[in-house]
Amino acid sequence: MNTEFSLNSCVWLSADQFDNLEKHTQWGIEFVEKYAKFVKERSEIETNYAKQIRNLSKKYQPKKNSREEEESKYSFCRAFLTTLNELNDYAGQHEVIAENLTSQIIVELSRYLQELKTERKSHFHDGRKAQQYIESSWKQMESCKRKFERDCKEAERAQQYFEKMDADINVTKADVEKARQQAQMRHQMASDSKNDYSSYLQKFNQEQNEHYYTIIPNIFQKLQDMEEKRIERIGVCMKTFADVDRQVLPIVGKCLDGMTTAAESIEPKTDSKQVVESYKSGFEPPGDVEFEDYGQAMKRTASETSLSNSRESKEKPAGKSKGKLWPFIKNKNKLMSLLTSPHQPPPAPPASSPPSPSAVPNDPQSPKQHKEPLSHRLNDFMTSKPKMHCLRSLRRGVSGSGPEDFSHLPPEQRRKKLQGKIDELNKDIQKEMDQRDALTKMKDVYIKNPQMGDPASVDPRLTEIGQNIEKLRFEVQKFEGWLAEVEERMPSKSDTHRRSGLYETQNNTTVSNSCAQDRESPDGSYTEEQNSETQVKFDDEFDDEETLPTIGTCKALYPFEGHNEGTISVAEGELLYVIEDDKGDGWTRVRRNEDEEGYVPTSYIEVFLETNAKGAMTYI
């Protein structure tokens, strides 16, 4: 803005353009307000964006449960978790942008706007005041000028009247003297008005010169400086607006680099190995299926240690029998035979009664000495608490909590669960011991400094912690016993080769593996079932149920309660059907009707086997 003004230009500027300057500066203030509003809305957008990003990251964060903890061992799951964490940090940087925009621009502009409005108001107030003063001085000078003009006219008229009176001979001398004095007075008044006018004119010229060459230019200069500062402040804010984003770019870049590094850390082969390790069952694969010769009758080898000596095997029709691979067992009764048979020794008969004839050869104190190797494998797998859902879990996974010893799980998975439980209990023991040590130290301090507390107040808590430690140690011993049992039963590669060799050395006149796998006994040995459907099928409800044939009858010599799972209660003298004889474990499977069947101690009954019974025959 040019500060050099001529008199006319200053008059023109002050008179005509002062309002324009006022409008322009007001528009400048409104522009600053508009820019502050723009930055505020940008800050709100950044805040909302950061909030949405945080909510998105929180939404997909893994929940605190066992399933998510199980997934955390996979590299792609860990990479996704890292991405979510980096995204959360990324959202934090947008919050930083919003905070910096608010503190460095919005707050500063709000404060500056107040100062700008106050300064502008002050400058225009000074300008209007100077304008009013010069206008007042102008009016005063004009008033003096008009008075001087009137006095001059009055003096001229008084002079003319005096001359007229002096020339008239009819006028008295007194009237002429009066007219002369009046003319002199008017001349004096005109002379005084002239002096006043001259004085005010000189004063006005000085004030006008100062107004247009000093006061008004200074006000305009201040307005110009104010405008320049406003424009400069807008430029600084615009630069800050960009710098706020630029300041967080390095951290945003690190977040993006972290996401890239997480993605590059994914290891497909390692994850696949983890899957194998997680779901490895520990079962030993079945041995080779041997050739079955249907060209000659299959005779059962005589055995003096089994009640099935009186039964003879019958040849299966060709094309009707195929080997089944455990655990895919078709017949429900076979599966129940495997899962619900008692695994503890049967109770001894009452001492007051004489032993039954059938109890001698099947006495649990003298079990059979020879079993097929495959029966050993099933015995190794089965635990002391078999459940119906054990085999279902092989296909569908275990649902629910399951028994305390994890016997519903395959061997390898059971071993891992037991080991994890032991580690968890050891951690709890360590925590209790740490608390005990801390309380012991506190008690020592109380003993040395009785004023700090009563040492006896710590004793109840120490006793409680000691009891907790003992309970936890007992639990550890219990789980360690189960773990040792699992590790002893889990087959090794050397066992697998040894057992495969035993299969190959068996005589072809005995039953083959495929025949042996058609039936399971309570202890895991195998029997043969004639004319059975051999299609491998395993469903959740075991709909294709078959009823085991009767191989004889029995009479209960003593009453038996049958509290254990898989057993059946009998009354003394009751007659029952035998559907599976003793395999050397001291138990015989009997049936009361189509729906009631189970195991009873062999020493409690007297067995009468049919000579040509159709049904399962045990090969020893």
Give 72-91 pLDDT, tens digit per residue.
Answer: 788 998 899 999 999 999 99
Tokens standing for 133? Answer: 């003063």
Helix (H, G, I), strand (E, B) or coil at 609: strand
Task: Return d(Cα 392, Cα 542) in angstroms, integer.
Answer: 10
| Mean per-residue pLDDT, 199-222 | 90
What is the per-residue DSSP string for 210-274?
HIIIIIHHHHHHHHHHHHHHHHHHHHHHHHHHHHHHHHHHHHHHHHHHHHHHHHHT--HHHHHHH
Q: How much of the chain, in percent, has pLDDT values that exceed 90?
A: 29
- Which of 118-122, 254-258, 284-288, 358-362 is predicted least confidently? 358-362
Long-range contacts of 270-277 (CB under 8 A, 24+ apart): 270/75, 271/74, 271/75, 271/76, 274/73, 274/74
Q: What is the mean pLDDT of residues 138-142?
A: 90
In this prediction, residue 564 carries a pLDDT of 80
Q: What is the pLDDT of residue 389?
A: 39
For the residues 128-140, what does the mean pLDDT come to?
A: 90
Provide the pLDDT confidence category of residue 546 given band limits of 50, 70 and 90.
low
Inform me whether the pLDDT recorded for 64 exceeds 80.
no
SS3 content of the chain, % helix, strand, coil (to 5): 60, 5, 35
Q: What is the mean pLDDT of residues 360-383?
A: 40
- String of DSSP letters for 370-397: ---HHHHHHHHH--SS--THHHHHHHH-
- Using one digit for the tens of pLDDT, what is the confidence trace for 590-606? 998 877 888 999 989 99
Supply 552's token pair: 């004889």
- Residue 129, pLDDT > 70, answer yes
DSSP class of 567: B
Nearest to 588 by CA among 619, 546, 616: 616
| Range picked from 279-283, 340-344, 469-473 for highest mean pLDDT | 469-473
> Higher-confidence residue: 433 or 496?
433
Mean pLDDT of 570-582: 89
Is pLDDT of 226 > 90?
Answer: yes
pLDDT over threshold 60, residue 545: no
pLDDT of 39 higher than 90: yes
- Answer yes or no: is pLDDT of 96 > 90: yes
Looking at per-residue pLDDT, the higher value among 290 and 102 belongs to: 102
For residue 226, what are the CA distances in angstroms to 106, 229, 252, 254? Answer: 20, 5, 39, 43
Q: Which residue has the higher pLDDT, 560 or 169?
A: 560
Among the ranges given (152-166, 195-209, 399-413, 580-594), the one the predictor scored with the smallest mean pLDDT = 399-413
Cβ(618)–Cβ(306) below 8 Å = yes
pLDDT surpasses 90 at 228: yes
Examine the pLDDT at 108 and tell me if it is beyond 80: yes
Tell me what percent of the residues of the chain surpass a pLDDT of 70.
68
Residue 610 vs residue 614, higher pLDDT:
610
Report the C-alpha gap between 144 and 138 in whole angstroms: 10
Q: b vs e for 187-210, b when ≥16 Cβ sit within 10 Å of the residue's Cβ?
A: bebbeebbebbeebeeebeebbee
| Residues 6 or more apart in contact with residue 4 via CB below 8 angstroms | none
Chain centroid, CA 236 distance in Å: 43
At 344 the pLDDT is 62
Q: Are 223 and 9 in contact (CB under 8 A)?
A: no
Q: Which of 583, 576, 588 is nearest to 620 (CA)?
A: 583
According to DSSP, the residues that pair with 560 across neighbouring strands are 570
Which position has the token pair 């696949």?
Answer: 272
Residue closest to 608 by CA, chosen among 581, 573, 569 = 581
Higher pLDDT, 524 or 569: 569
CA-based max dimension of the chain: 197
* Whether residue 429 has pLDDT greater than 90: yes
pLDDT confidence of residue 74: 87
Task: Return the pLDDT at 296.
Answer: 63
For residues 443 and 458, the answer to whether their CB atoms sit within 8 Å is yes
246-249, Cβ contacts within 8 angstroms, sequence gap of 24 or more:
247/96, 247/100, 248/93, 248/94, 248/96, 248/97
Whether residue 305 is predicted with pLDDT greater than 80 in this model: the reply is no
* Cα end-to-end distance, the chain, whole Å: 120
pTM of the model: 0.48
* Residue 523 pLDDT class (50, 70, 90 cuts): very low
Lowest mean pLDDT among 382-386, 451-455, 569-573: 382-386
pLDDT averaged over every residue in the chain: 75
pLDDT score, position 412: 77
Which comes out higher in pLDDT, residue 470 or 546?
Answer: 470
